């Protein structure tokens, strides 16, 4: 709940209504970013781009989609992890350069953007936005290479950090994932149509079947003309480190991420949490929506009944006008409301996915108590979040992460819970089937960063 979302990408080719399918794909990925959305489509005339700030449903009307013809498209829904919420940072980016028209969008953060940007500026390049995608496009355009494909490889060899990217050209749809595979990218098809998506929930909506993930370090090139697929591994091989937080919080529970069911992983987190931190209680209540699956697992394991003791208003926009007279915890109250008759007099176990600053958790505990709960026990379906993310997830600076500077007892007192229990790292690894603890990035819990954090 306290982390905010990141970006989603979707691409499709050899599909007559490519931009409309991409629109649907982005619709399914809306939870990954609500600041801006964009689609670039391609037909025999060239590439066509539309992007703007706002929700997918607001950015794309019938008329706008009519202006995005062609049999191939890539799209992006953005949450501003870098560069703030500025219109110029919306994806995809489109250039007309040495290799003709090239459009690119990506999910993730490069850790050496500052260094690359400074170098490109010194070479005379001008940027229109703070986006890493524009840096990648500039690198592609200036690469010493004869073909676009080799230019992409040259650019990716210079980029460090996290990227799952999609590129559209007159000839091809290209998908690539950084060697650690920090961010997800799935591949699917329906008939002759090939599709790529951050999460498989988008495939479900457009009717594509999930085939496999783009493997960390892989570049997949689909010919728009013939449909031929070529796979290359042009980058040095490293131990893959996909982001475990996708399974804890970001992804939709109906998605497969890294080929694993998010719902199954979250339920297992809840089960192990119940084994690790049992408590005598009357009711298991999730903090909606991201705590729901883990709360179900906790309830199944403990035998304590589950119920929706807090209801989330799904129609709250990004901003709302607050009353002039300050109402305590208004920001949380507008999104979450307790079901008093369920909570009154009950010993409640409140299950959430994570605690970041601690301030939201405190307000939710207060809300549940004010609704009449006699005890409130917090259970968190991940280990204490002690370090910031540099790979595309919007976390506060380390000094604002409550678990980085407070021991468990003090956090318990701060959030005003009767007891507080986190999932252990060992249990989290177990939930993910990660037998040697090497299979995922856990850096926000351990500080063991697979790629040196950004200095820019």
- Cis before 387? omega within 30: no
Quickly list DSSP for 211-253: EEEPPTT-EEEEETTT--EEEE--S-------BTHIIIIIS-T
CB of 385 to ligand SF4, least distance (A): 8
Quickly list DSSP for 422-452: E--HHHHHHHTT-TTS-SSB-HHHH---SSP
Kindly state whether residue 393 participates in binding ligand SF4, applying the rule CB under 6 A. Answer: yes
40 known ligand binder: no
Size of the site for ligand SF4 (CB under 6 A): 11
Clarify whether 7 is annotated catalytic: yes
Give 159 or 244: the residue with its C-beta nearer to ligand SF4: 244
Contact characters 422-451, ligand SF4, x per CB under 6 A: -------------------xxxx-------
Give 141 or 198: the residue with its C-beta nearer to ligand SF4: 198
Coil, strand or helix at 103: strand
The answer to whether the beta carbons of residues 357 and 411 sit under 8 Å apart is no
Give 347 or 357: the residue with its C-beta nearer to ligand SF4: 357
Strands 347-352 and 283-286: parallel
Give 358 or 392: the residue with its C-beta nearer to ligand SF4: 392
CA-CA distances (angstroms) from residue 6 to 9, 80, 106, 452?
Answer: 11, 7, 11, 20
Place of tokens 């959430």: 352
Single residue of 244, 350, 368, 451 touching ligand SF4 by CB under 6 A: 244
Token reading at 185 = 């990218």
Residues 327-386 that bind ligand SF4 (CB under 6 A): none
Closest CA to 117 of 135, 104, 129: 135
CB of 230 to ligand SF4, least distance (A): 29
Coil, strand or helix at 454: coil
Closest CA to 116 of 153, 160, 163: 160
Active-site residue among 7, 13, 201, 382?
7
CB of 378 to ligand SF4, least distance (A): 21
Single residue of 389, 415, 417, 451 touching ligand SF4 by CB under 6 A: 389
What are the two backbone dihedrals, phi and then psi, of residue 256, each rounded to the nearest 5 degrees?
Answer: -95, 130
198-206, 314-322, 343-351, 387-395 -> range binding ligand SF4 (CB under 6 A): 387-395
201 known ligand binder: no
Give 245 or 414: the residue with its C-beta nearer to ligand SF4: 245
Contact characters 170-199, ligand SF4, x per CB under 6 A: ------------x-----------------
Question: Dihedral through CA 386, CA 392, CA 396, CA 399, nearest 10?
Answer: 50
223 known ligand binder: no
The answer to whether the beta carbons of residues 109 and 136 sit under 8 Å apart is no
CB of 365 to ligand SF4, least distance (A): 24
CB of 182 to ligand SF4, least distance (A): 5
Bind-site residues for [4Fe-4S] cluster:
243, 389, 441, 444
Bind-site residues for Mg(2+):
290, 352-353
The residues assigned a catalytic role are: 7
Tell me which residues touch ligand SF4 (CB under 6 A).
182, 243-245, 389, 391, 393, 441-444
């Amino acid at each position: 709940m306290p982390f905010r979302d990141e970006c989603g990408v979707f691409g499709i080719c050899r599909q007559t209504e490519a931009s409309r399918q991409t629109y649907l794909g982005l619709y399914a990925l809306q939870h990954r970013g609500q600041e801006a959305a964009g689609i670039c489509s391609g037909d025999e005339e060239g590439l066509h781009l539309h992007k703007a700030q706002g929700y997918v449903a607001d950015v794309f009307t019938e008329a706008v989609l009519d202006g995005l013809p062609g049999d191939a498209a890539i799209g992006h829904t953005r949450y501003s992890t870098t560069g703030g919420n500025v219109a110029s940072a919306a994806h995809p980016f489109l250039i007309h350069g040495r290799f003709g028209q090239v459009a690119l969008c990506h999910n993730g953060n490069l850790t050496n953007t500052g260094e690359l940007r400074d170098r490109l500026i010194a070479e005379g390049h001008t940027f229109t936005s703070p986006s890493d995608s524009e840096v990648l496009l500039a690198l592609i355009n200036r690469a010493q290479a004869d073909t676009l494909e080799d230019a992409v490889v040259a650019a990716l060899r210079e980029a460090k950090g996290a990227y799952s990217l999609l590129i559209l050209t007159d000839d091809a749809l290209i998908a690539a994932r950084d060697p650690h595979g920090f961010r997800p990218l799935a591949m699917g098809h329906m008939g002759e149509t090939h599709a790529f998506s951050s999460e498989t929930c988008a495939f479900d909506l457009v009717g594509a079947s999930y085939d496999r993930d783009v493997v960390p370090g892989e570049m997949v090139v689909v010919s728009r003309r013939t449909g031929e697929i070529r796979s290359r591994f042009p980058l040095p091989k490293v131990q893959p480190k996909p982001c475990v937080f996708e399974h804890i919080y970001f992804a939709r529970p109906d998605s497969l991420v890294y080929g694993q069911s998010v719902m199954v992983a979250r339920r297992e987190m809840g089960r192990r949490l119940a084994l690790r931190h049992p408590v005598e209680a009357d009711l298991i209540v999730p903090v909606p929506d991201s705590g729901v699956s883990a709360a179900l697992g906790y309830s199944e394991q403990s035998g304590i009944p589950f119920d929706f003791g807090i209801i989330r208003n799904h129609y709250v926009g990004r901003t709302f006008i607050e009353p002039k007279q300050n109402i305590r915890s208004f920001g949380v109250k507008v999104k979450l409301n307790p079901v008093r008759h369920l909570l009154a007099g009950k010993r409640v176990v409140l299950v959430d996915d994570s605690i970041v600053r601690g301030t939201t958790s405190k307000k939710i505990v207060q809300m549940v108590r004010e609704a009449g709960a006699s005890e409130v026990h917090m259970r968190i379906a991940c280990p204490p979040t002690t370090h910031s993310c540099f790979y595309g997830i919007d976390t506060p600076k380390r000094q604002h992460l409550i678990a980085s500077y407070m021991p468990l007892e003090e956090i318990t007192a701060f959030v005003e819970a009767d007891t507080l229990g986190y999932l252990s790292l060992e249990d989290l690894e177990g939930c993910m089937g990660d037998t040697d603890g090497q299979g995922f990035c856990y850096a926000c819990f351990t500080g063991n960063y697979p790629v040196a954090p950004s200095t820019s």
